[in-house]
Every structure is written in structure tokens, then in C-alpha cells.
């Protein structure tokens, strides 16, 4: 790590010690949607003011122009301080902002980037009921009529889409060629006539996602990003915008939550050296696997900084995180025992380490899909790392 990153780490650590709201989990507890929104907006304001919300943005934006090593330092320190996750504004700060920076017009940048810093909320309209892992199969249709696109279709699994002001929308404008060739990238105002966002209540009781229904929605041509029928290329910028930093933060949070597992077996005052051998073995196993994942992420980031990332590294890390997170939650659920069945309180947008073990365990399964479905990641590893041939079906 560079001297600049080390100095920044100390600076961020000191700032967090003074600024992380002590009661943020209470403010985001359960179904208190208004508390969640207010808490997230307050935290965004603090981070923007300090220059820690947008280190990945270019200069002269607040805190912009940071190196990848400095960005890693910020993410790690935010996780270590158990600060709130920026779940409400993640798409805004990363996917929307970097798509605009890389591919947007000057007018689009000037309209939306300042608004994002002030709390404009974005969602993604990519996946559809029959176009998830195979995103290029999307069927949401857009027809150009004069200076408008008329959009009709359906999107699903739009993270916090029910709260969004704007949407990054992929639509089909041409069916004549390869699937990827007929996709166009648009910016959609969520207040437009014909847009309906329906929250999806999950098994956990949370409503982290929404389904979007679009009925003859009019989108000005000026909201086109890139060229018509070239949206697939723009979408790759969107999907790569956070560059793996999410797993830097989430892995660090999981590692810092090991005390929650230990607390389950020492809650009755039992001394650590008298913990049941099986419980000790399982906790140590999880701890070792988290340390291994940390080492893999450190190697990945070092390679990215040096410009020689290996093919398949990100896929391997995503698979490892998904499996460890699930086992982490399952162990907590087992150690908590029957009492876990009676727990209902959780923290909106907190992540996967709330200490409501039933909630954390069920919530962990979304990482079988999030960040790229596990099956797709295994295909990438098989074909591009192990160089295994693709089987031809008879």
C-alpha cells in the first residue's frame, strides 16, 4: 500500500470515529421506512462533505481522483468502523455516475452528477422475468417516434426501485441482428406517466427489490446514452463501475462480525477456553476462510493497481464470498438455536451481519445471484481459467 493510502487510512479512521452515528442501526430497524430514508440521506451528506462518497469520481468532484489503493483504504475503514452501508445510493454513486462520466453527454453530466451528490436516487432497469443471467435476451421494447422513445415492458429485481428518482434502462430497439446489437441505453425519469414500481416482499420480510411495469412511457431522445442499438457496450461500463470494491467492504464487515458468533457461545458467561470444541472448530474454520478471502481480494486489488488482473479472479472471489456468507449465517443460526425462530427485528440496508440470525441466513442466499449468478461464474472459471471445452448438447 502506498504512503498516500496509509495517510488517507489514518485520516478516514479518525473522521469515522467522530462521525459514525451511534444509533444508525436503531434508526433503520424493522419496517421504519422513513427512518431508513432519513438515516441514509444524513450519512450521504456527511460522506459527500468529507469527500469519502466519491473517491472513484474524477477530479474536480468532491474527493475525486483517488487511486484504487486509496479507494480500497476508504472502503476497508468504513467497514471496520461498522458505518452504515450506502445501500440507498449505491446505484447512484457507482452505476449511474460512472456510466454518465464515461458515456454521458455534457448536458447529462451537468444535470445528474450534482443532483446525485444532493441525494438523487437511481435504480437499474436491466433484468426481466425471462432475461436475468442471459441479459441480452431482454424484450422491453422502445420505439422511436420523433424526439421520443415509447417504451413498454417489464423489469424485475430493481434494487430499491420503489424509492428511485431515475432509472438506468436497457431496452430493445432492433430485432434484426444478434441479441446484443439491438439494445439501447436510456435514462428514465421514474415520475414519468406509465411507470409503476411495485416492491417485492422477500422471505425475510424486507422489500429490497422492486418490479417495474412500463406502459407507453415517453422518454426524450436527449436521454439516450451512447448510440442507438449500442447500449450493450454502455451497459458493460455500468456493470464494471464499482470494480470489485463492494466485496472489499462486505468481506471486511463479515470478518469484523466474528465476535457475533463468539458471543453466541459465551453469552452465559462461559470462559472462551471452555467453549464447546465443535463450536470452536466451526468458528475457527469460518475465520480461516474469511482470512483466505481477504488475501485473495488483496491479491486481486494489487493486480488491478498494477494493471495485470488475471482472468477469472473476480469470479473466484465472488463464489467464495457467497459460500462463506451462507455458512456464516448457517452457523449463527445453529448456535443461536430455537431462539432464532422468534427473532423478527432486522436493520434495513445493514447488510448480512445484523445478529438476527434467521434474517441473515435467509438474506445470504441472494448472493447466489447478486454480482453475477453462481452458475455463470462457474462457467467463466471453467471456460476461461481451466480452458474446459463447452459441451455440445445432442
Is there a single domain that holds both residue 33 and residue 137?
Answer: no
Quick one: 213 and 261 in the same domain? no
**What is residue 50's predicted lDDT score, i.e. its pLDDT?**
96
Is residue 43 over pLDDT 60? Answer: yes
This prediction has a pTM of 0.89
- pLDDT value at 295 more than 90: yes
Higher-pLDDT residue of 59, 177 = 59
For residue 24, pLDDT over 80 is answered with yes
Q: Is residue 355 in a domain?
A: yes
pLDDT of 54 reads 95
Mean pLDDT score, 120-145: 91
Cβ-based neighbour number of residue 270 at 10 Å:
11
Q: Are residues 128 and 74 in the same domain?
A: no
Number of domains observed in the structure of the chain = 3
Output the DSSP codes for 310-371: PTTHHHHHHHHHHHHHHHHHHHHHHHHGGGGGG----BTT--S-SS-HHHHHHHHGGGGTTT
Residue 347 pLDDT: 73
How far, in Å, CA of 68 to CA of 243, rounded? 9
- Residue 276 has a CB neighbour count (10 Å cut-off) of 11
| CB 363 within 8 Å of CB 329 | yes
Question: Does any domain span residue 19?
Answer: yes
Q: What is the pLDDT of residue 393?
A: 47
- Is the pLDDT at 29 greater than 80, yes or no? no
- Is 237 contained in some domain? no
Q: Residue 223 sits in a domain of what CATH number?
A: 2.40.110.10
Closest by CA position to 260, among listed 203, 362, 365, 333: 333
Just list the catalytic residues: 242
Mean pLDDT across the stretch 308-316? 87
- What grid cell was written down for 89? 445510493
Range 10-13, long-range pairs (CB < 8 A, 24+ positions): 12/52, 12/73, 12/74, 12/77, 12/78, 13/77, 13/80, 13/81
**Residues 133 and 45 grouped into a single domain:** no
Of 114-118, 126-130, 341-345, the range with the lowest mean pLDDT is: 341-345
The packing angle between helices 313-336 and 277-306, to 10°, is 160
Considering the domain boundaries, does residue 116 fall inside one? Answer: no
> What is the chain's mean pLDDT, rounded?
89
Q: What pLDDT, on the 0 to 100 scale, is given for residue 341?
A: 80
Examine residue 113 and state whether it is found in any structural domain, yes or no: no
In a domain, residue 158? The reply is yes
Q: Write down the pLDDT at residue 370.
A: 82
pLDDT number for residue 394: 46
- The arithmetic mean of pLDDT across residues 281-289, rounded, is 94
What is the per-residue pLDDT for 31? 66
Place 13 in a pLDDT band, splitting at 50, 70 and 90: very high
Q: How confident is the model at residue 273 (pLDDT cuts 50, 70, 90)?
A: low
| Residues 304 and 331 sit within 8 Å (Cβ to Cβ) | no
What does the pLDDT average to over 297-325? 90
Note down the domain range covering 139.
Answer: 122-229
Q: Are residues 288 and 324 in the same domain?
A: yes
Q: Is residue 166 part of a domain?
A: yes
**365: CATH:** 1.20.140.10
Which of the pair, 350 or 267, is modelled with greater confidence?
Answer: 350
- Shared-domain flag, residues 253 and 174: no
pLDDT band at 203 (very low <50, low <70, confident <90, very high): confident
How do strand 209-220 and strand 195-200 relate by DSSP bridges?
Answer: antiparallel
Is 279 within the bounds of a domain? Answer: yes
What value does the mean pLDDT take over residues 278-306?
92
33 or 394, which is more confident? 33
Tell me the range of 57-66, 237-246, 269-278 where mean pLDDT is highest.
57-66
pLDDT grade, residue 145 (50/70/90)? very high
Mean pLDDT of 171-192: 94
Amino acid at each position: 500500500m502506498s504512503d498516500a493510502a496509509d495517510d488517507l487510512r489514518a485520516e478516514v479512521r479518525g473522521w469515522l470515529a467522530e462521525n459514525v452515528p451511534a444509533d444508525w442501526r436503531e434508526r433503520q430497524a424493522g419496517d421504519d421506512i422513513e427512518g431508513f430514508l432519513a438515516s441514509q440521506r444524513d450519512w450521504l451528506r456527511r460522506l459527500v462533505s468529507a469527500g469519502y462518497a466519491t473517491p472513484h469520481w474524477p477530479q474536480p468532484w468532491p474527493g475525486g481522483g483517488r487511486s484504487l489503493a486509496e479507494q480500497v483504504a476508504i472502503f476497508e475503514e468504513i467497514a471496520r468502523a461498522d458505518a452504515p452501508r450506502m445501500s440507498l445510493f449505491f446505484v447512484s454513486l457507482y452505476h449511474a455516475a460512472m456510466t454518465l462520466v464515461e458515456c454521458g453527454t455534457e448536458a447529462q453530466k451537468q444535470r445528474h452528477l450534482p443532483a446525485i451528490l444532493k441525494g438523487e436516487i437511481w435504480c437499474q432497469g436491466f433484468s426481466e422475468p425471462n432475461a436475468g443471467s442471459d441479459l441480452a435476451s431482454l424484450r422491453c421494447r422502445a420505439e422511436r417516434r420523433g424526439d421520443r422513445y415509447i417504451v413498454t415492458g417489464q423489469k424485475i429485481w430493481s434494487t430499491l426501485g420503489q424509492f428511485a428518482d431515475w432509472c438506468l434502462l436497457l431496452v430493445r430497439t432492433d430485432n434484426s441482428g444478434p441479441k446484443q446489437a439491438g439494445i439501447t441505453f436510456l435514462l428514465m425519469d421514474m415520475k414519468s406517466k406509465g411507470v409503476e414500481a411495485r416492491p417485492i416482499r422477500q422471505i425475510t420480510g424486507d422489500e429490497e427489490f422492486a418490479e417495474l411495469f412500463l406502459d407507453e412511457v415517453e422518454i426524450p431522445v436527449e436521454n439516450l446514452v451512447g448510440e442507438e442499438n449500442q447500449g450493450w457496450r454502455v451497459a458493460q461500463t455500468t456493470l464494471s463501475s464499482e470494480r470489485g470494491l463492494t466485496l472489499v467492504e462486505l468481506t471486511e464487515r463479515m470478518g469484523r462480525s466474528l465476535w457475533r458468533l463468539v458471543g453466541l457461545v459465551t453469552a452465559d458467561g462461559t470462559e472462551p477456553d471452555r467453549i464447546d470444541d465443535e463450536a470452536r472448530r466451526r468458528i475457527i474454520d469460518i475465520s480461516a476462510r474469511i482470512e483466505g478471502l481477504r488475501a485473495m481480494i488483496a491479491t486481486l486489488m494489487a493486480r488491478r493497481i498494477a494493471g495485470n488482473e488475471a482472468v477469472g479472479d473476480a469470479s473466484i472471489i465472488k463464489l467464495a464470498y457467497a459460500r462463506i456468507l451462507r455458512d456464516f449465517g448457517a452457523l449463527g443460526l445453529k448456535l443461536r438455536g430455537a431462539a432464532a425462530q422468534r427473532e423478527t427485528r432486522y436493520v434495513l440496508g445493514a447488510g448480512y451481519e445484523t445478529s438476527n440470525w434467521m434474517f441473515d441466513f435467509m438474506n445470504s442466499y441472494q448472493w447466489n445471484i447478486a454480482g453475477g449468478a453462481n452458475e455463470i461464474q462457474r462457467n467463466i472459471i471453467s471456460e476461461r481459467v481451466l480452458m474446459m471445452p463447452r459441451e455440445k448438447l445432442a
